[in-house]
Amino acid sequence: MISGTRPLRLRPPAFLGARLPLAIGLGVILFWVLAALTVQFWPLDPPLDMVGRRLKPPSAEHWLGTDALGRDVLSRTLHGARFSIPIAVVVVAAAVALGGFLGAIAGFFGGLLGAAIMRLVDVTLAFPPILLAMAVAASLGPGLENAAIAMIVVWWPLYARLVRAQVLEVREREHVEAAVAAGAGPMRVLLRHVLPLCWTPVLVNATMDFGQVVLLAASLSFIGLGATPPTPEWGAMISDGAKYFYHWWIAFGPGMAILIVVLGFNFAGDGLRDLLDPRTE
Amino acid sequence: MARYLLRRLLAMPLLLLGVATAAFLLGNVVKGDPLASILNERQMNNPEVVAAAKARWGLDRSMPERYAIYLGNLAQGDFGTSFRTKRPVMRDLLDRLPATLELVFSAMLFGSVTGIALGVAAAHWQNGPADHGARLLALIGSSVPVFWSSLIALYVFSVQLGWLPGAGRLDAAIRPPESVTGFLTVDAALAGDWHAFGNALGHLVLPSVMLGWAVLGIISRMIRASMLDVMQQDYIMTARAKGAGTLRVLLRHALRNALVPALTIIGFTFAYLITGAILTETVFSWPGIGSYAVDAARALDHPAIIGVTVLGALAFLTANLLTDIAYVFANPRIRLG
């Protein structure tokens, strides 16, 4: 095998050290993915019974309390997975595809096109991420789809840089030279011989970025540029909770959900990195 | 190295032009009519008012014309006039800059000092409870939504326990000190108004800690890793053999060298600080650039959004450049091509 991956280290502590966070992370992710997939079959608590149920603190009946419209916070928090998880998947997938494609072209072919792509990357990365996302979202108007587009704009250059660096390195290896000598065309060399060896850092980064996307999406919603109120999106729910500041439980549930999801993806990313590429830290 | 720095410096104006162009496009290729954020509904129905407003805000000109004017103004430090406040964006930003700087500096101070302490402790007691605790704290810091942790902290420490004041920079009942630096704590101290000083400092604690938390995590991990590296080197053993105490070895011999690689992450933490400042300021009603950006984005106040974005990019680029330069100077073995 020519690939850069190494045999797994099997010293017990290191082995556990990599596997335990990965297992915890994957468990958390699995829970929320299941929630995102199944929760639509559980009806959202309708905001009807206003009189007796408004702003109730957590109780045996409503584990995370009720909000200003008498809606159950726990049920809305679980429904939030329907927005945050798919958005993270879409944004990361689009950023990896777009950034990976442009980065591979820039790294493999170079030239004027490659230089132009990398200058675009430089300019995009010159903006603080949240400001760029806010500016894009503001010019497209509020809404979850626009927030997603804004986040793709923010994230693709990171993958362009990553993939370009990988391609530049793999391009120089002997097996690529062999493939070229054997008469393979450039596209075939890139797709069959170079890109397959570039995915490890992309996978690790993507795993961590899922969490960061969940965080940024919630932030955009919190400041009013993402999902808008009746949507049970976590950032929008926290923004709603901020209005009823003294009823802390309205914001508590969705905030914990974000924290748990992001922690899960960070754990999983850390574990994956230790497992796949022990050299980097 | 001189060549590398020269190249970086030469690239700056080009990058800034790219940033300005990108920001212009974002502010001008917008869905919806920008007039809607200037005029109310009744005014929109009056063609004369609409025409006057268009002329007043330059919206009657073609895009290339507007771009040329915009670049010319930008070169003179003119960011245009805010739709919302009807004041020059530059004035708004300068008025609000000290509040943000005061917050960011104190968050950075808290984050670095605690981060370094935790990193040293984690390295010294590697794989012990201190190490695991520091790791958990760092992980939570980079995973928690800061707008939520700020809300919870405000509720717990201000409302429930009453230990710290609530939102804002100063209690409403306290007269702000005469503005010299714009930093309320410094100005109060300069004026000798210790009551205001204490109050301003109290107001600063919660937002700084919440904002500095993410930085704390990054720095403590970095310090831990480079401390572990340094502690294995021969000169540490020499120091120990000569009878230096644990604390002396850790702080005088190891930390000094371990700090160098940590320099590289200053630029990195800066990105966290900007993101965090925007959200923290919103929760704490902190009258800085972050809350200005949010208000502008909510009101679709495009000149203000462009201004904040360009300013943010400028700060970000400068921080990254300074980090690279500092890194080169701190570690002459590094050769950047």
Instruction: State residue B253's pLDDT score.
Output: 79
The total domain count for chain A is 1
Amino acid at A252: F
Q: How far is CA A154 from CA A94, A176, A245, B31, in A?
A: 11, 32, 32, 19
Helix-helix angle A199-222:A73-109, to 10 degrees: 140
Whether residues A122 and B298 touch (CB distance < 8 A) is answered with no
Residue A170 belongs to domain spanning: 18-27+79-276
Pairwise CB contact (< 8 Å): A123 & B19? yes
A201: confidence class by pLDDT, cuts 50, 70, 90: confident
- Yes or no, beta carbons of A126 and B19 under 8 Å apart: yes
Question: Averaging pLDDT over each range in A65-79, A94-108, A222-236, which range is the top one?
Answer: A94-108
User: CA-to-CA distance for B220 and B135, rounded, in angstroms?
Assistant: 8
Picking from A20, A29, A139, A140 by the largest number of B CB atoms within 10 A of its own CB, the best residue to mutate is: A139
Contact B297 A224 (CB under 8 A): yes
CB contact under 8 A, B306 and A246: no
* Residues recorded for chain A: 281
Q: How far is B326 from chain A (nearest CA, A)?
A: 19
- Which of A115-124, A198-207, A265-274, B46-55 reaches the highest mean pLDDT? A115-124
Query: Which residues of chain B lie closer than 8 angstroms to A266, CB-CB?
Result: 139, 142-143
Res. B336: pLDDT tops 60:
no
Kindly list the domain boundaries of chain B, sorted by start residue. Answer: 34-78, 93-330
| pTM score of the predicted model | 0.86
B279 inside 8 A of chain A by CB? yes
Longest dimension (CA), chain B: 87
CA closest to A259 among chain B residues = B144
Per CB-CB distance under 8 Å, the chain B contacts of A251 are 148, 151-152
Q: Look at the domain B93-330 and name its fold.
A: MetI-like fold (1.10.3720)
Please give the Cα distance from A93 to A91 (Å, whole number).
Answer: 6
pLDDT per position as a tens digit, B154-185: 999 988 898 988 888 888 788 888 888 888 88
Residue with tokens 């001008």: B28
B193 CA to chain A: closest CA distance, Å?
32
Closest by Cβ to A242, choosing from B283, B294, B313 = B283
Name the residue facing B316 among A119, A126, A140 (closest C-beta).
A126
Q: Is the pLDDT of residue B289 over 80?
A: yes
Residue at token pair 């810091």: B141
Nearest to B300 among A124, A138, A222 (CB): A138
* CATH code of A141's domain: 1.10.3720.10
Least confident of B23-32, B142-151, B219-228: B23-32
Query: Quick check: B106 pLDDT over 90?
Result: yes
User: Higher-confidence residue: A116 or B272?
Assistant: A116
pLDDT the model gives residue A92: 95
Contacts of B294 in chain A (CB under 8 A): 134, 223-224
Residues of B in Cβ contact (< 8 Å) with A245: 151, 154-155, 159
Contacts of A238 in chain B (CB under 8 A): 145, 147-148, 151
Gap from B278 CA to chain A (nearest CA, Å): 8
Residue A4 counted as domain residue: no
User: Using an 8 Å Cβ cutoff, are A128 and A191 in contact?
Assistant: no
Q: Which residues 9-38 on chain B approach chain A with CB closer than 8 angstroms?
A: 11, 15, 18-19, 22-23, 26-27, 29-32
Chain segment A34-69, per-residue pLDDT in tens: 888 887 777 666 555 555 677 778 877 777 888 777
Distance from CA of B312 to the nearest CA of A (A): 6
Residue-level pLDDT at B267: 64
Query: In this predicted model, what pLDDT tens digit does every residue of A5-14 receive, in sequence order?
Result: 444 444 444 4
Measured between alpha carbons, how far is A237 from A230 in angstroms, rounded to an integer? 9
Contact call for A219 and B313, based on CB within 8 A: no
